[in-house]
Amino acid sequence: MKKISIISISLIILLILVFVLVKPIQEIVSVSLVSETTEITYTDSESIRIFEDAIRTVKKVRGAVDVGPPSYRMTVTYADSEIVDFSLYMDLKAKNGFLIKNSNSEKMLDLKDKNAVELADLLSKEK
């Protein structure tokens, strides 16, 4: 009897951990960018993939950040209708950049090199 209750409790804890730790990846349906000179919305699968990869793989930078105006104001719309606003800072020539989530404007989210290059290439097509 004791063995069965230990196994049952273990299974319940395991299921809770799996449920909490395995978050479904939110699907992006559109990304809108606004700069001083451009306003564009991306809905095609390849562009969405580039943005999804970039957002999913950012590295949080320690400490607070104080920067000037962003290269782009970015609005990401997810399939569940959630909307998240970011500031996107991109150097298209150096092909690097970072994001700041508007709901937490003191934390910088550094783009991985590969993602920054893909984003810079995508954004350069629009100029």
Inter-residue contact 106 to 64 (CB < 8 Å):
yes
Please classify residue 47 by burial: count the beta carbons closer than 10 Å to its beta carbon, then call 0-12 exposed, 13-18 middle and 19+ buried.
buried
Residue 2 has pLDDT above 80, yes or no: no
Query: Which range, of 16-20, 89-93, 111-115, averages the lowest pLDDT?
Result: 16-20
Distance CA 95, CA 90 (A): 7
What are the pLDDT digits (tens) for 3-22?
Answer: 777 888 888 887 776 766 66
The set of residues, in sequence order, having a beta carbon less than 8 Å from that of 30 and lying 6+ positions away, is: 41, 42, 43, 48, 76, 77
Q: For position 21, what pLDDT does the model report? A: 67
